[in-house]
Amino acid sequence: MPFNDHMQRNRFELKYLIDERCARGVRDFIRSHLVHDRFARAELGWAYPIYSIYVDGPSLDCFNATLCGHKNRFKLRARYYDDKPNSPIFLETKRRVNDIILKDRAPVWRKSLQPLLAGAMPRRHDLVDPTDPESFSSLQQFCHLRHSICGSGRTIVAYMREAWNAADNDDIRVTFDRHIAGSWFHDSHAAHQALRIDRNWVYPPIDGEVVLELKFTGRFPLWMQDLVGAFDLYRVCMAKYVNCVMAMGPASAGRWRERRTVPERRRPLMGAV
């Protein structure tokens, strides 16, 4: 059965840091233009959890490229939405070319994740839909880039996302990300243990607490321009992976230390979903 993925492969993404009061105002503003994302869960305040394993090399190539603000860079991550053993994982390649975001991803089975992150050759039966040529091409690209940086799974970044889309497509999208947290990824653990969501999360200090993103293909919608002006929003560089790694503390030679460097702030939401 073909896997139906609605991801947009290229678009603009503008980020802003706002507080909850501003977020409520923005939500009221966008209601007349957008609808709730199809994955929104009423019991979670019309949000849903996202977990991403970030892949990086021994020299932290991706971390440093983002930290230095390189205009043309890429990131590799394995994204999942729960810890159910039969749910797929999406291996994503996300490139930035100036202000344009190019994104490809391949849905794979969980049993294939650790071999692929360890350097195994991509195979069609790793895919949820082995007959999908685009997914296989995306998987090959992911593995090629992972090999180019000698990458491995480093850090799991998690957050709750409230998302709004255009009623008939995903060309226009607004997201609110909250409770951003990081944790170590241990590739030596069995998959069910390495991907568990009830873990000790580190919450980096993020001004404003809510990451607002305006996403669109083509031209900047006029109503989004009005939104930015009405709430006096200013664009920021906000990389969740970088913020989480800095909060947890990188050690020498690109390996992470287990010792915490910031006081722990536990929030039950991330472990409860």
Report pLDDT digits (tens) over 190-212. 777 888 888 889 999 987 889 99
Q: What integer pLDDT is reported at residue 264 of this predicted model?
A: 41
Angle between helices 222-230 and 20-30 (to 10 degrees): 150
Per the rule left: phi > 0, alpha: psi between -120 and 50, beta: everything else, 60 is left
Q: What are phi and psi of 119, to 5 degrees?
A: 115, 5
| Residue 164 tokens, joined | 């709004």
Each residue's pLDDT tens digit, 87-113: 999 999 999 887 788 999 999 999 999
Average pLDDT along the chain: 87
Helix (H) or strand (E) holding 14: strand 10-18
Specify the higher pLDDT residue, 85 or 269. 85
Q: What's the pLDDT band for 9 if we cut at 50, 70, 90?
A: low
Q: What integer pLDDT is reported at residue 190 of this predicted model?
A: 79
Answer CATH for 10-272 from 2.40.320.10, 2.50.20.10, 1.25.40.390, 3.30.1490.20: 2.40.320.10
CB 233 within 8 A of CB 227: yes
Each residue's pLDDT tens digit, 29-39: 999 999 999 99
CB 13 within 8 A of CB 215: yes
Rounded to a whole number, what is the largest CA-CA distance in the chain?
51
Report the C-alpha gap between 59 and 158 in whole angstroms: 23
Q: Where are the domains of the chain?
A: 10-272
| DSSP tally for the chain: helices H, then strands E | 8, 9
Report the C-alpha gap between 32 and 30 in whole angstroms: 5
pTM: 0.87
Q: What integer pLDDT is reported at residue 96 of this predicted model?
A: 85
**Portion of the chain with pLDDT greater than 70, in percent:** 88
Each residue's pLDDT tens digit, 58-82: 989 999 999 888 888 899 999 999 9
Q: What integer pLDDT is reported at residue 254 of this predicted model?
A: 37
Instruction: Please determine, for residue 135, whether its predicted confidence score (pLDDT) is greater than 80.
Output: yes
- Count of CB atoms within 10 A of residue 114's CB? 18
Instruction: Please determine, for residue 271, whether its predicted confidence score (pLDDT) is greater than 50.
Output: no
